[in-house]
Structure 1
Amino acid sequence: MGQFCPGVRPRCRLDIRLVTETFPPDINGVATTLGCLVAGLRERGHRVVVTCPKAAVARDLGDGEEVPGVALPFYREVRLGLPRRRAFLADWREDPPDVVHIATEGPLGASALAAARALDLPVTTSLHTNFHAYARDYRLGWLASPVMRYLRRFHNRSANTFIPTATQAAELGAQGFERLMVLGRGVDTDLFNPERRDASLRAVWCADDATPVLLHVGRLAAEKNLALLADSWSRARAIDPQTRLVVVGDGPERTRLERQLPGAVFAGALRGEALARHYASADAFLFPSLTETFGIVMLEAMASGLDCLGFDYAAGRQLIDPGVNGLLAPFADTAGFLDRVPDLLAPESRRRRVRAAETGRAHSWAAIVDAFEQNLADVAGTSTIDAAARERLT
């Protein structure tokens, strides 16, 4: 396991191939992270060629390429790219990149890994999603162990694997994952900040300045522990019946959740300034998920000046000092989470909101991109993985 800091920027222009199943304008944490990393690398003068599956909304990939993909039958919003090992081999023989970065582990990513290794190209990977945990939420728990074995073999065949927190590095390292590199997450504070607060939007929610507004942002899917979101709103309304709940996001659970939560505002999937206004116009953020590798929405909420309640892991553990700039419950302690909901409505919440915004301002994307850039340059500086590692990977 390793954690790196921004170093001296590479002087040479890197030619990078990025292979991913998701990319903006997709709305999820992985797409957000990759979009910021790619934009930062391109601003620094590097060439980044993106390959990803076709989506309903056309992407602006520059000299990148959208390839055929299929939607997951139980989650139509998620698409997997089809394998294209031969195409990668032909493309990369003709125009060899300095380094290949594979951000997702589906069929498209697996074929890219096979092609990069066949051509002896430097390759790195990222682990963004707890697929093994998701299996349990979709009643496929029997797949959790095989999925973990697949992920371990996939990532251990690369020069290194980027993960978002030191805690996750320790957990994955104990399960046999090698060469893990901690790469944090940043936030665009020009976009996400308390100045975006909008009284007219609160009026649409039937909320004046004195009305508490709770916000949730994320995919509305089984793995997000949404029953706790509903219970949290009930607990808040038992204290102040005027408390509003605003839900931003879409997904397979939306229809059921709308039936379960009459009176809540469902804004759908948002991005850009519209999303920023929704964050800043609320008062507190509820994040009941137990399956995040990080949870970038929590950082966006803090930067927007919200008092956040989540569990003690991932972004919550990394960002929140309990009682100072947010609130945490012990991991998976549902009762503990609900017990902290009243604190979101207490006067002390205003003080935590100010400190949360300060925390957000301290997490710029520039430092994250610097670290990513330096590591890719280090990997690209060697034509092969060292011999001992190569022997382990075969």
Structure 2
Amino acid sequence: MEMTDLRVALFSGNYAMTVDGANKALNRLVEYLLRQGAAVRVYSPTIAEPPFTPQGDLVSLPSFAIPGRNEYRVPMGINTSIRRDLEGFAPNVLHIASPDFSAREAAKWARDRSIPVVASVHTRFETYPQYYRMGFLEPVIEAWLRKLYRRCDALLTPSPSMIDTLRSQDMNDDIGLWSRGVEHAIFNSERRDLAWRRKLGIADDEVAIGFLGRLVLEKGLDIFGDTILELKKRSIAHKVLIVGDGPARKSFAERVPDACFAGFQTGTDLGRAVACMDVLLNPSVTETFGNVTLEAMACGVPVVAADATGAASLVDNGVTGYLVAPRDVSAYADKLQGYAADPTLRKAHGAAGEKKAEAFEWDTINQAVADTYLRVLAHKGKSTGN
């Protein structure tokens, strides 16, 4: 079977509602598959004014908005119309990108027809409850995820550390790597713009500690804020540069009242904002990869990150940045203090990170997904005698 024989039905809980790493990766995958001659049809909740133009044919799933987080919508299943559309498209591979109700029903639909199911794991949903004081739900959610993923033909996830986590959780026996790329034309050290920093109130000789991403609790905003407070207690001169927006902005601003908020940025403006940081602080433990970590590295910015899935496979500790025990505020502050005092160290770690990021190219990375489709199709054909 060739790439041109692929007919992929992709189910996503959020394909074009917000701009995040998972959405970017899925849209790049679809664009690549279409460019190679494959047929792709995407099924996802939609909104009236998406923040970007989605790739491929998009079929809207019935959904409802999450209370208090209406930028996200929850798919409610696959109704008769969606089933009819699936039958008409006649996929030979089903790809589910979120473990929601629609994906679960679609996976059952595919299994009933001996169509292989591939699942990509983009975030650690089981860790979310701890940020909303419901940590007791973590094992329940993990079991719920396992019930779905064990029935898939293969799993894909963005980092070796996340593969290890999924194996330890007994999610599946067939787990492959679907890494992430970076747009080097946008994210590179040449984007650094001192004039732009000055407009934000950051002097040329001041050390800007950056945060990059959606402002939501599960990104570790509490640890970021506590670390900045610890630097203040130590009288370490610094500035804070926040790039991104989200529902937790107001409460986060109260934690870091002196921060420069650059807001939501895209394209070359985003590359400029990241390159204007002197160090990225990423305390999140919910990512499976850490796109923001890679983007900072591509810009020549050293990274201090949680030693957790995502960053652990990207940051070479003591070479391109530092990995810190996830909630150790004092250790985060120690590493940032070291960078603040030593511009030569910052430059060396930043250059090493930029060099490492050169290897992350999208087309090569997305071919790994296509190869997984072809492999599970071949295996399914042998097991059914086709």
Report how far residue 344 of structure 1 moved: 2.2
Q: Indicate if the aligned counterparts of 1:16 and 1:100 stay in contact, CA closer than 8 A.
A: yes
Aligned-partner Cα distance in 2 for 1:175–1:67: 30
Aligned-partner Cα distance in 2 for 1:129–1:312: 16
Q: How has the CA–CA distance of structure 1 residues 90 and 276 changed in structure 2, closer, same or farther, with 3 Å as cutoff?
A: same
Answer yes or no: is 1:202 the counterpart of 2:202: no
For the residue of structure 2 that corresponds to 1:112, the secondary structure is: helix
Q: Deviations along 1:10-57, whole A, 9 cap, x unmatched?
A: 453422111101124622221122122222222222222111101252
Map 1:226-375 → 2, pairs under 5 A: 226-237=221-232, 243-345=238-340, 346-347=342-343, 348-375=345-372
Q: Indicate if the aligned counterparts of 1:165 and 1:294 stay in contact, CA closer than 8 A.
A: yes
Q: Indicate if the aligned counterparts of 2:15 and 2:54 stay in contact, CA closer than 8 A.
A: no
Q: Tell me the TM-score normalized by structure 1.
A: 0.89
Q: Which has the higher contact order (CA 8 A, sep 6+)?
A: 1
Report how far residue 252 of structure 1 moved: 2.5
Q: How has the CA–CA distance of structure 1 residues 356 and 240 changed in structure 2, closer, same or farther, with 3 Å as cutoff?
A: farther
Report how far residue 60 of structure 1 moved: 3.7
Query: Paired residue for 1:28, among 20, 30, 33?
Result: 20
- Letter paired with 1:379: V
Answer yes or no: is 1:73 the counterpart of 2:62: no
- After TM superposition, the runs of 4+ consecutive aligned structure 1 residues lying more than 6 A away are none
Aligned-partner Cα distance in 2 for 1:25–1:77: 7
Query: Paired residue for 2:83, among 62, 86, 89?
Result: 89
Q: Indicate if the aligned counterparts of 2:298 and 2:355 stay in contact, CA closer than 8 A.
A: yes
Report how far residue 85 of structure 1 moved: 4.7
Partner in structure 2 of residue 391 of structure 1: none
Report how far residue 370 of structure 1 moved: 1.4
- List gaps (5 residues or longer) in structure 1: 1-8, 388-394
Root mean square deviation of aligned Cα: 2.2
Query: Paired residue for 2:107, among 109, 113, 131?
Result: 113
Q: Deviations along 1:104-145, whole A, 9 cap, x unmatched?
A: 011221221122122221211111121111012112223222
Aligned-partner Cα distance in 1 for 2:117–2:319: 41
Answer yes or no: is 1:145 the counterpart of 2:139: yes
Aligned-partner Cα distance in 1 for 2:181–2:55: 22
Q: Indicate if the aligned counterparts of 2:17 and 2:46 stay in contact, CA closer than 8 A.
A: no
Work out the percentage of aligned pairs sharing the same amino acid: 29
Q: How has the CA–CA distance of structure 1 residues 41 and 343 changed in structure 2, closer, same or farther, with 3 Å as cutoff?
A: farther
For the residue of structure 2 that corresponds to 1:314, the secondary structure is: coil
Partner in structure 2 of residue 3 of structure 1: none
For the residue of structure 2 that corresponds to 1:12, the secondary structure is: helix
Q: Indicate if the aligned counterparts of 1:282 and 1:306 stay in contact, CA closer than 8 A.
A: yes
Query: Paired residue for 2:157, among 163, 183, 197?
Result: 163
Q: Indicate if the aligned counterparts of 2:65 and 2:74 stay in contact, CA closer than 8 A.
A: yes
Answer yes or no: is 1:15 the counterpart of 2:10: no
Q: Indicate if the aligned counterparts of 2:43 and 2:61 stay in contact, CA closer than 8 A.
A: yes
Q: Indicate if the aligned counterparts of 1:122 and 1:382 stay in contact, CA closer than 8 A.
A: no
- List gaps (5 residues or longer) in structure 2: none
Report how far residue 349 of structure 1 moved: 0.8
Q: Indicate if the aligned counterparts of 1:27 and 1:271 stay in contact, CA closer than 8 A.
A: no
Partner in structure 2 of residue 42 of structure 1: 34
The number of equivalent residue pairs is 379
Answer yes or no: is 1:378 the counterpart of 2:370: no
Bigger drift between 81-90 and 335-344 goes to: 81-90
Partner in structure 1 of residue 118 of structure 2: 124
Aligned-partner Cα distance in 2 for 1:177–1:385: 24
